Structure 1
Amino acid sequence: MSSLTQWLSKLLPALDHRVWILAAGRLLSQVGIGFTLFYAPIFFTAQVGLSATQVGLGIGLGSVAGMAGRFLGGSLVDSPTAGRRPTLLASALVSAVADGALILANTFPIFVLGNLLMGFGVGLYWPAAESVAADITTPQQRNEAYALVRLADNIGLGVGVVAGGALISLTGAYRALFAIDGITFLLFFGIIYSAIAETRPADNPDRSLLQGWGHALRDTNLMVYALVNVMFTGYLAQIQSTLPLYLSRFGGGGEAVSEGTLSLLFTGHVVLAAIAQLPVARWLNRYSRAQGLMVSALLWGLGFGLVWRSGTGSFPLAWGGLALGVMALAMVAYTPIGSALVAAIAPEALRGVYLSVNSMCWAVGYLIGPPLGGWAIDQGAAVAHGFWLGLVATVAPALAILVWLDRRLRRRGF
């Protein structure tokens, strides 16, 4: 065995081949999503003629449809009449049809239809994909399994954003982006159809649509974690929505940061997250999952403090870059462990519903986080600077909740 092969065998986790197939399919579909993520709003405002308010409303309605998709998806993946595989296949087909609608969209109603279908398709995906990953791994492997899927997400999204920008700059063919995105979803459908069989446990009992949700919503462990999860996803949303505006508007020392410099800073953030994803997940295996989330919380607090420093002192780029680096580590410590914790506390027969609750926390966090950060930015420099210190303060109750949850889970053998 060559030294390179030995190095790769140590670096990459030893997981069921189906996890790798799922990650490969997800990478492919994320390339397509990256094609449209940043460029769709530009196209529909600049060329189709929709207002920014209409575009924002359409995207917001898509998020609402995503919550409906998560609710239905959680029940379908646990159902003996459906299951993980059909739900994954349905998510890919609905998303491909959504791209078809967006290709044809010349009016606001068709634009809304495309976003509703896309949100619903993505909502169906998450409970199904995370349930498959839990089904085919041991509890000890799940941190790394979920980390691998998240790594595929990040790489695919990054490649898609770069490739989409190159295509637009060369051809200006915005509608081609939706066609390529639809093709990637169809390829993802083909990968799942041909390579992944149903993984749902055969002895799962049949339940009504709401019965499983009632059990999940009465689970104290899940509900307590959901509170922290919404906070963490709200933190994550600040990186993508509030931080670029903060740096570009206020910077440090009275000087704003240019768009080109912002691009370099955020590219570094994404690259570090991709490099650190698997090593951090493996390192955190030595701790309980709640303790791993405590590490993430501490890193979020440090990162927010560094953002505040970047806007109120000298050397803003150095502090801003350091903040993004710390928050990249906070993100990769959080994302796989959160899913692994929920999979651990979920009854096997309700794994899909529990993971759907986990996914819904993301939708809620992204619903709350960006408007709150945007409001702070609009209030002027003093409030904008103080916003980051306010986020630092929220880390303390998050840590207290996690300490309580860790003790509770240890008593119950999790």
Structure 2
Amino acid sequence: MIQSLKRLDRNIWIRFLGETITGVMMFMIAPFLVLYYSDKLDSYIQVGVIMATGPIMALIGSVVGGRLADLYGRKPIMMIAILGDALALVGFAFAETFWPLLLLNAMLGLTNSLFHPAASAMVADVTEPEQMNEAFGLLRMGHNIGAALGPLLGSAVLFIDRQYIFFSASFVFILYALVLGRFIRESLPETTEADTPSNRDVLRVFYNDKVFLVFIFAGVFISMGFSLIESMLPLFLRESMPSFTDRENPFAYMLALNGIMVVLFQFPIASKLGRKPFGNVMLAGATIFGVGMILIAVMPRLLYSLGTPYLVLVSVLLAVYAFYTLGEMIMSPVQQTFIALIAPENMRGAYNGAASIQWLIGGVTAPIMASLFFDQRAGHIALILVGAASCVSGLIYWQLGRRVSAAEAKQKTA
């Protein structure tokens, strides 16, 4: 594993450090933004409208950012995105009313999403195919270090004037942009003007790439699973164990376990699976992920109905959540690797941007669908359905892997 780490390009290590530090700062703020908005505004409807702008602008930013990264380079788009984040964070320190907060949240959603397609394309540019899983796994580990430490730090400094928090985060982002400008090397492959596809050509390629379109379709169910667990799990646990207080809700322990597991095991798992067939890995990951969701749906209600002691109940739920997290860790870097491998060299940014559509669709549809079940006190049914659909996605990924492998073998013998 040490040798694998040493072989990774310098760009990857700079991004890992930046991803970790900026992740800490962003997750220090993001979980508490809704509280910040509610303090500033009189209407929860206004808060909801502001929160809804983020995913919408993120889709636009991902698609546009990916295309711009193919046209003008990875490095400038990454720097513009980071500086845009810094500017938006400074703005939050002064915004007091609905419209400024709405525009700043939209700006943050846009600029934050500009970064990722360019950054993912850069990883594909500088990494050998057999090491892509390891590179994406390392970056995901950095992201989760931020996700684990950020909220804890945010809780610790809530008593400080929030203006200073926004200023501090903005300073870190500006520093990261300067580091990118000084130390990251541009990785955009050299192409002639004739090799650069027009916008119409890009759309035509997407339309004709059936493998990519099926990949996005299968990814919608996985995205719905992530969205349900991240946004609805606390509510589901409260519904399943009605006599437990919010302080007894085991969600916080489960979330902490997820972060610890990703930090400790994401890179070794990605490294181990990096040379395995895509379809087999994704079938295993999606199946474990889906079955994990079904167990999360069933076990709390079952254990609660049996009068299981609290410590035993929490221990079993942590074991179930560890199983679910294992599926998540298997899938996440492999999904990014697959996009990098099937994307034409001159369209890697556009492919990474377009792939984000699955996360928007899943992120919007899952909470709406789940709310219908929660209204009938049947939230567990939503988890079971999406868990089963995730297992079906695994079968689809498996077939995609076989199809791509067959196409590669045909090319080698031609």
Please indicate, yes or no, whether the TM-score normalized by the shorter chain is above 0.5: yes
45, 70, 74: which one pairs with 2:66? Answer: 74
**Number of the residue aligned with 1:282:** 271
Going from structure 1 to structure 2, the CA distance change for 1:74 and 1:377 (only over 3 Å counts) comes to same
Q: Tell me the distance in 2 between the aligned counterparts of 1:179 and 1:376.
A: 42
Code of the aligned partner of 2:186: E
> Residue 218 of structure 1: CA displacement?
2.3
Name 1:309's counterpart in structure 2: 298
TM-fit CA distance, 1:243:
1.2
Q: In the alignment, which of 391, 394, 410 is matched to residue 389 of structure 2?
A: 394
Under a length normalisation based on structure 2, what TM-score does the superposition of the two structures give? 0.91
Render the CA deviation track for 1:125-150: whole Å, top value 9, x for unaligned. Answer: 11100011110000000001001111
Conserved in 2, the CA contact under 8 Å of 1:85 and 1:192?
yes
1:51 and 2:39 correspond? no
Q: Secondary structure at the match of 1:229?
A: helix
State the distance in 2 between where 1:318 and 1:309 align: 15
Contact 1:29-1:184 at 8 Å conserved across structures: yes
Specify the code of the residue in structure 1 equivalent to 2:151: V
Q: 2:240 aligns with which of 243, 250, 255?
A: 250
Distance change (3 Å), C-alpha of 1:264 and 1:231: same
Give the structure 2 partner of residue 3 of structure 1: none
Which of these residues, 69, 76, 86, is aligned with residue 86 of structure 1?
76
User: How many angstroms does 1:365 deviate by?
Assistant: 1.9
Which residue is equivalent to 1:348?
345
The 3 A distance-change label for structure 1 pair 146 and 396 is closer
Q: How far, CA to CA, are the matches of 1:23 and 1:177 in structure 2?
A: 23
Indicate if the aligned counterparts of 2:131 and 2:271 stay in contact, CA closer than 8 A: no
Conserved? CA contact 1:33–1:181, under 8 Å: yes
In the alignment, what sits opposite 2:399? 404
CA deviation profile, 1:250-291 (whole Å, cap 9, x unmatched): 23xx54364354322221121112212011112212421222
Q: Which amino acid aligns with 1:200?
A: L
- Residue 317 of structure 1 deviates from its aligned partner by 2.2
Does the C-alpha gap of structure 1 residues 392 and 49 become closer, same or farther in structure 2, counting only changes over 3 Å?
Answer: closer
| Cα offset, 1:391, TM superposition | 2.3
- 1:211: Cα distance to partner? 2.5
1:72-107 CA-to-partner distances (Å, cap 9, x unmatched) read 11111111xx11111101101111121122222111
What SS is found at the alignment partner of 1:105? Answer: coil
When residues 68 and 97 of structure 1 are mapped into structure 2, their CA distance, relative to the original with a 3 A threshold, is same
**Are positions 1:27 and 2:20 aligned together?**
yes
Query: Please, which runs of 5 or more residues in structure 1 have no aligned partner?
Result: 1-7
Distance 2:394 2:246 in 1: 35
Number of corresponding residues = 398
The offset of 1:248, in angstroms, is 2.4
Contact 1:339 1:358 in 2 (8 A): no
In 1, Cα distance between equivalents of 2:203 and 2:152: 40
Query: Quick one: which amino acid aligns to residue 39 of structure 1?
Result: F
Contact kept in structure 2, 1:270 and 1:328, CA below 8 Å: no
CA contact (8 A) 2:41 2:98 kept: no
The offset of 1:41, in angstroms, is 0.6
The question of whether the paired residues in 2 share the 8 Å contact of 1:248 and 1:258 is answered with yes
Q: Distance in 2 between matches of 1:57 and 1:63?
A: 11
Question: How far apart are 1:326 and its partner, in Å?
Answer: 1.3
Provide the secondary structure at the position in 2 that maps to 1:412. Answer: helix
Give, in whole Å, the separation in 1 of the partners of 2:333 and 2:285. Answer: 11
Report if aligned partners of 2:147, 2:259 keep a CA contact under 8 Å in 1: no
Q: Quote the RMSD (CA, aligned, Å).
A: 1.9
Matched, 1:14 2:7: yes
Q: Do structure 1's residue 133 and structure 2's residue 130 form an aligned pair?
A: no
1:25: how far off?
1.2
CA distance in 2, matches of 1:217, 1:96: 36
Which among 289, 296, 302 is matched to residue 285 of structure 2? 296
Note closer, same or farther for the CA distance 1:211–1:180 as it changes in structure 2 (3 Å cut).
farther
* Conserved 8 A contact 1:293-1:402: yes
Mean Cα deviation higher: 370-379 or 224-233: 370-379
> CA contact under 8 A between 1:303 and 1:324: conserved in structure 2?
yes
Structure 1: which amino acid aligns with 2:316? W
Q: Relative to structure 1, is the Cα distance of residues 126 and 50 closer, same or farther in structure 2, using a 3 angstrom cutoff?
A: farther
| TM-score with structure 1 setting the length | 0.91
Which of residues 241, 256, 264 is equivalent to 2:253?
264
Q: Quick check: 58-67 or 47-56, which moved more?
A: 47-56
Distance in 2 of aligned mates of 1:372 and 1:274: 32
Cα displacement string for residues 175-217 of structure 1 (whole angstroms, at most 9, x for unaligned residues):
3332222222212211211111210001252333343233123
Q: What is the DSSP-based 3-state SS (H/G/I as helix, E as strand, rest coil) of the residue aligned with 1:104?
A: coil
Report Cα offsets for 1:49-81 as digits up to 9, x if no partner.
2422212211211211111111111111111xx
Distance 1:119 1:367, change over 3 A: same
Cross-structure match for 1:109: 99
**Inter-CA distance 375–175: structure 2 relative to 1 (3 Å threshold):** farther
The letter of the residue matching 2:334 is I
After alignment, is 143-152 or 327-336 more displaced? 327-336
- 1:35–1:152 CA distance, 2 compared to 1 (3 A): same
Partner SS for 1:200: coil
One-letter amino acid matched to 2:278: R
The one-letter code of the counterpart of 2:328 is M
Cα distance in 2 for residues equivalent to 1:336 and 1:259: 34
| 107-116 vs 304-313, greater mean Cα deviation | 304-313
The worse-fitting range, judged by mean Cα deviation, of 314-323 and 301-310 is 314-323
Q: Flag the 1:156–1:392 CA change in 2: closer, same or farther, 3 A.
A: closer
8 Å Cα contact 1:98/1:113 also seen in 2: no
CA, structure 1 residues 338+50, in 2 after alignment: closer, same or farther (shift >3 Å)? farther
The corresponding residue for 1:339 is 336
User: How far, CA to CA, are the matches of 1:216 and 1:143 in structure 2?
Assistant: 24
Give SS of 1:39's match: helix
